[in-house]
Amino acid sequence: MEVEVRKLHEIKGVSIPEPYARIVKILVSPEKETVPLGLSTPIKIEKAIESRCGTVGVSLIQPGKGMEPHRHKNEEETIYIINGRGEYIVAGKPVKFEPDTIIHIPANVEHGLLNSGDEMIKQVWFMTRV
Residue 86 lies in a domain: yes
Residue 70 lies in a domain: yes
Q: What is the CATH number of the domain that holds 72?
A: 2.60.120.10
Residue 5 lies in a domain: no
Residue 2 lies in a domain: no
Domain holding 54, by residue range, is 11-129
Question: pLDDT tens digit string along 56-71?
Answer: 999 999 999 988 898 9
Residue 3 lies in a domain: no
Question: What is the CB neighbour count within 10 angstroms for residue 23?
Answer: 15
Question: pLDDT tens digit string along 5-26?
Answer: 888 888 888 888 776 678 888 8
pLDDT at 77: 95
pLDDT band at 107 (very low <50, low <70, confident <90, very high): very high
Query: Which amino acid makes up residue 62?
Result: Q
pTM of the model: 0.83
